[in-house]
Structure 1
């Protein structure tokens, strides 16, 4: 058996797969979201570990895995979220700063005015945006009493969530290339932490984890950290890269969209890092041995999180699954658009000062309109991302492989196909992120070959576009009008 740990933004999922790639056990649990100020988002890293450890045990029990039957662990994680801890005690020194956190938007503006963006884009493939880890680490160093001195003395270390979980499981301070490539501190061409980028943000390199290929051994769990199982952590990748792997997009030009808390369109770009086009990112997809595979990425910050907001914030739905019937209950959106810029806008706009906006309200607007507008916004944002990627690659999309929780919503998947004008294909295993982690670990442990990944991928549902061009164009034009009204709302 192989244990896949999928540590996401709102909860931890653990799946257990056998060596045929069949799902044998599953468990999931949410954890607390902290919002200390508008635009700030934090997690308790200790709670994440406790929840993840408990869920791993539940999944292993669900699969009936006895000691000696587990072969390896794969980890995939919410990216860019930064943890800081004392390596001698393993205790967090501050809440984790989540990828959605906007507190360093002003600092990114300062760095841009100082002329650093060209260097950042060239070396990292990223944008100067608070989304990424580097300015979060700088903020912690400058705002947590005594932390800068502790980091300089080796009494504080930093890492993304994969690094934190691996440390708790194995005692090793490591990360993989895909997660390192999301920090603003890693040169994706040279494959190493960058002295100049670290100096720019005042980050001591000794406080950063050792970077290893995504496929291979990162350390061995101990019996007391993994419910009696002492096995290698044999694969790690950020959640979107793991989903690309799980969707068997192993050849250049193949791509997918994962619908999770946010949505992320990735396209395999091969073993040479492509130039980073406007509005998009170049990132490491995964590393295996001496070979690094790159990807083009469009990052959409809020999609599933907007549905969660409908449930927990507005309390107009009880369950995410309620949205499908509510959207179907209307013949159209009646001109209501919701732009879910709850943490700014990502690709292709990159506007940290945008905020959530609802337009087109009338006396006839009801709960169903808000719900439908939220689902439509998920599809519209994906169209914006895909069109930017098509312009960059000069290759039209022929179909979209889709995964993540929202693929269970048939109304949304059909609307997505209608908006893109191409088929949307959902695989048999819709939790492709966790599957990708398992496959990475399986290859790392010598259980699977990469060819096995290609031959084992199976289609479950295909949604064909059924909307006319005129209707599609009108909806997208009004969407763009709504987006413009959300932009730049917060004054820099």
Structure 2
């Protein structure tokens, strides 16, 4: 367990009090907020003349959203009431050079961005719309993935090291022994692990001579995926637009969570000389000036006005603007964010503190507690690509439904160790309970349940940190399409699961950020009706005793999955 999960009871009380203070400041108690979210969220504003006229205007204002995820890139064009009008999606190559390594080609990422923009814009204009009808574009992206490039040439110096990559295990073990390690989570909100971008940069400096040379000569540029996309969309080294937003910067461990600025103490801890590496300027998530504009292609001259890390973007897309609201996104991994208000709350139970969003214009940044599950949809892909269980990922529900239960199987999907709230680096993926009775359907169910169990563990940690129990959770992402998975989540967590009909909420969040920057909307209250139609509620349909029995078996399996790597396996060197 990381230091974040091992402090005394006193910080817990202060964390709970901090959330209460934030809730009071917002003028709502958590219970009131959550109760209202179940009723008000489904109601549209009264359809008076002004509202009808206003909605007509919004239908004719469009916003583009680049959604650059772990396995694919999308460009979606939304109208001003949050409905997708045109989109295009392209998957890109996942590179696994060694066990535990996970890389992406930075040039391929940019190629997919351009392809998606071109194809979606083509569909948009074929509908009779004009490119000028798109008022701005936003960007949302996989977080913690680290990229480095040469400031003089604009060329990548190494493949992007993706967020689930675990090559830094040995390095993390070394850093945990350094003086000052205990202070990291208090300053950055993150426990020291293989997860953040900081340790990936340190690894590159130690192991890649070309990166080290660029660093010593002051040519090294560092950034997360948002920074790379913005840099290239603006034309690369010609304009040299090198920025990031605070939601992405908060995932590096270089930024002070309280000041939203790079922290000299953190840079010193990781032995990064800020005079030798070009770090992106940290700016608000919604800004009409900071992100530049598209330099070429069908959207040439289009303003880039919004940027959010993918999980923050999903919270915005789910209208999680009130302290006490929460969402869970089931993508490649699974990520649960809980809005705690305008002051960060440092977890004492293994969660992360992060920036939820920062919309600038004299608005204060909003913070969240976050729980991260490394394997969700990637577990389904594993059954499909590695084991041949299914031919398409959406067929996982049919396979899981072919049996009545998991047949006694528990699958701890620790392909990259276990993230929140466990932070176990030496765990490996392990299936318990296999017998001659076991069928593919049992393992399919156990794969879906693994994500649900880890989400339950995160919910429990959030309740301990905040002193409040959620009354429901909003969901989105690819795995949320599975009714059997969402029903399982409701059963295991013991609270209702609220799923929207339109589940492109991550992309929608980036569009909303861009829309605020160019005055499509001015107040969060104007977004109340967006994406509230035809939401489905999954209520628990098993007893709390049955749920607790399942969870105890999961906890036992987690404990047994530890210790599969020894020190020699975790060196992390070439």
TM-score interval, normalised by the smaller of the two chains = over 0.9
SS in 1 for 2:552: helix
Per-residue displacement from partner, 1:133-167 (whole Å, max 9, x unpaired)? 00100111121113233134332201000000000
What is the aligned partner in structure 1 of residue 229 from structure 2? 165
What is the aligned partner in structure 2 of residue 458 from structure 1? 532
CA, structure 1 residues 297+424, in 2 after alignment: closer, same or farther (shift >3 Å)?
same
1:192 equivalent in alignment to 2:264:
no
CA, structure 1 residues 254+89, in 2 after alignment: closer, same or farther (shift >3 Å)?
same
CA, structure 1 residues 335+434, in 2 after alignment: closer, same or farther (shift >3 Å)?
same
Deviation at 1:116, TM superposition (A): 2.8
1:427 equivalent in alignment to 2:500:
yes
Superposition pairs of residues 341-356 of structure 1, within 5 angstroms = 341-356=414-429
Deviation at 1:482, TM superposition (A): 1.2
Give 2:101's match in structure 1, choosing from 40, 52, 76.
40
Q: Which runs of 5+ in 2 are unaligned?
A: 1-61, 235-239, 568-574
What is the aligned partner in structure 2 of residue 87 from structure 1? 151
Superposition pairs of residues 295-314 of structure 1, within 5 angstroms = 295-314=368-387
Deviation at 1:233, TM superposition (A): 1.0
Deviation at 1:223, TM superposition (A): 4.4
CA contact (8 A) 1:256 1:266 kept: yes
CA contact (8 A) 1:13 1:29 kept: yes
CA contact (8 A) 1:336 1:358 kept: yes
What is the aligned partner in structure 2 of residue 475 from structure 1? 550
Superposition pairs of residues 237-386 of structure 1, within 5 angstroms = 237-289=308-360, 290=362, 291-386=364-459
Deviation at 1:441, TM superposition (A): 0.8
What is the alpha-carbon distance in structure 2 between the residues aligned to residue 268 and residue 332 of structure 1?
34
CA contact (8 A) 1:246 1:453 kept: no
CA contact (8 A) 2:121 2:131 kept: no
Greater percentage in strand: 1
Per-residue displacement from partner, 1:29-55 (whole Å, max 9, x unpaired)? 111111111111111111111011101
CA contact (8 A) 1:3 1:17 kept: yes
Q: Which runs of 5+ in 1 are unaligned?
A: none
What is the alpha-carbon distance in structure 2 between the residues aligned to residue 207 and residue 151 of structure 1?
9
Per-residue displacement from partner, 1:278-324 (whole Å, max 9, x unpaired)? 21111011112242111101111111110011111112110111111
Point out which structure has higher relative CO (alpha carbons under 8 A, 6+ apart). 2
Deviation at 1:399, TM superposition (A): 0.4
CA contact (8 A) 2:64 2:75 kept: yes
Tell me the TM-score normalised to structure 1 length.
0.97
1:113 equivalent in alignment to 2:177:
yes
SS in 1 for 2:393: coil
Tell me the C-alpha RMSD between the 2 structures.
Answer: 1.4
Deviation at 1:378, TM superposition (A): 1.5
Paired residues, what number? 491
SS in 2 for 1:17: strand
CA contact (8 A) 1:181 1:188 kept: yes
Deviation at 1:397, TM superposition (A): 1.5
What is the aligned partner in structure 1 of residue 245 from structure 2? 176
What is the alpha-carbon distance in structure 1 between the residues aligned to residue 105 and residue 391 of structure 2?
26
Tell me the TM-score normalised to structure 2 length.
0.83
